[in-house]
Amino acid sequence: VTGSYAPDASHRLIAPDDLAAYRRDGAVLLKGVIDARWLDILAGVAEQMRDLAADNTDYYGDDPDSDRQTVVKDDMWRESPAMMRLLHDSPLARIAADAMGSSHARIYEDLLIYKQSGAGPTPWHQDEPQWPVTGEHKTSLWITLEATTPETGSLRFIAGSHAGPLYTPYVPDERLADVEQDMAFFTGGPLPDVEADPAKYRQLTFVSEPGDAILFHPRTIHAAMGSDPSRPRRTFSIRFLGDDIRWQPKASAYHQWLRDIDLSPGAPLEHERFPKVWPRAGYQA
């Protein structure tokens, strides 16, 4: 892997065709975004964070009785200087800002999704319903340290679903009352059975190599295949916010810390939990 992703103009890191595909489909595969140096760093971060989060197996479609599970960890940037360096110094935040059409990119969340060998698929869902913000400047970059095919954990999307409504999120029973409070946001009702109608819900399944990144909108309906039976799938899903984002408290927000944030409704996200990572301090365009 050489990190060959070539900007077509000096200040942009996302090619016009890729940007057009992202705007049209809500997801696009970007080739060669992260070079071997960053992949090495991420491999270390993945093992360290997986050990810290060994008991945190949030619902990712796994059979609860199986020991082949998906371990999930967020907030890595607060604990790992290597992660913070990646966010500041790799091309990721700048690509996100370009994709959002924003002058800056803030971190919303950095998630490790470590599917142990033989872990199950991640079911179809949207991310945005449980994001306590309004505005359009939001995007995610998904990076996996293993090559992914449908047999080894590919990420899949419903093309164009980012232009549709928010659907009611799936939550464990103890969060149902929280979702009830936020029903006004979920104008689409229950998530449709996208597998049942492939003509209406066109699926995109990406085959990726180490160093690639999948850029996707958090409203795009997505799912992932299970990992290879003989090796884990170590994935980072990093979410960014930009200029037009404002705080919108939600009882159903995914993490407890998001429900505890001291921002007023409508406030910009000037907050230490959402640091600006692009432009870098001192950067000369």
Ligand X SMILES: O=C(O)CCC(=O)C(=O)O
Comparison of 91 and 153: residue with beta carbon closer to ligand X: 153
- As a whole number of angstroms, the distance between CA 134 and CA 277 comes to 20
Residue 215: CB partners within 8 Å, gap ≥ 6? 14, 18, 22, 27, 28, 30, 95, 96, 99, 139, 140, 141, 142
224 is an interface residue for ligand X by CB under 6 A = yes
- Judged by CB under 6 A, which of 27, 45, 72, 113 binds ligand X? 113
Contact call for residue 122 and ligand X (CB under 6 A): yes
Q: Rounded to the nearest whole angstrom, what is the least distance from the CB of residue 223 to ligand X in the complex?
A: 7
Do 104 and 180 meet the contact criterion of CB atoms below 8 Å apart? no
Question: Of 165, 154, 166, which Cα lies nearest the Cα of 122?
Answer: 154
State the helix-helix crossing angle for 16-25 and 92-100, rounded to 10 degrees: 60
- Site mask for ligand X (CB under 6 A), range 159-198, x = bound: ----------------------------------------
The CA distance from 178 to 162, in Å, is 24
Place of tokens 């409070």: 181
Distance, in Å, from the CA atom of 161 to the CA atom of 220, rounded to the nearest integer, reads 5
Q: Which residue among 50, 219, 222, 250 contacts ligand X (CB under 6 A)?
A: 222
For ligand X, give the closer residue by CB, 17 or 257: 257
- Minimum Å gap between C-beta 251 and ligand X is 21
Straight-line distance from the first to the last Cα atom of the chain, in angstroms, rounded to the nearest whole number: 27
Q: How many residues bind ligand X (CB under 6 A)?
A: 11
Q: Which residues, listed in sequence order, are joined to residue 122 by a DSSP beta bridge?
A: 224
Considering only residues 75, 98, 110, 127, which one is a binding residue for ligand X as defined by CB under 6 A? 127
Which residue matches tokens 């079911």?
123
Nearer to ligand X (CB atom), residue 34 or residue 155: 155
Of 142 and 167, which CB lies nearer to ligand X in the complex structure?
142
When the beta carbons of 116 and 237 are compared against ligand X, the nearer one is 237
Query: Would you count residue 76 as binding ligand X (CB under 6 A)?
Result: no
Among 142, 167, 201, 240, interactor with ligand X by CB under 6 A = 142
Please identify, using beta-carbon distances, which residue of 2 and 69 lies nearer to ligand X. Answer: 69
Does 227 interact with ligand X (rule: CB under 6 A)?
A: no
Residues 27, 198: Cα–Cα separation, whole Å: 17
Q: Is 69 in the site for ligand X (CB under 6 A)?
A: no
Out of 13, 143, 155, 179, which residue is the one contacting ligand X (CB under 6 A)? 155
- Residues 144, 206: Cα–Cα separation, whole Å: 12
Query: Rule CB under 6 A: which residues touch ligand X?
Result: 60, 113, 122, 127, 140, 142, 155, 222, 224, 235, 237
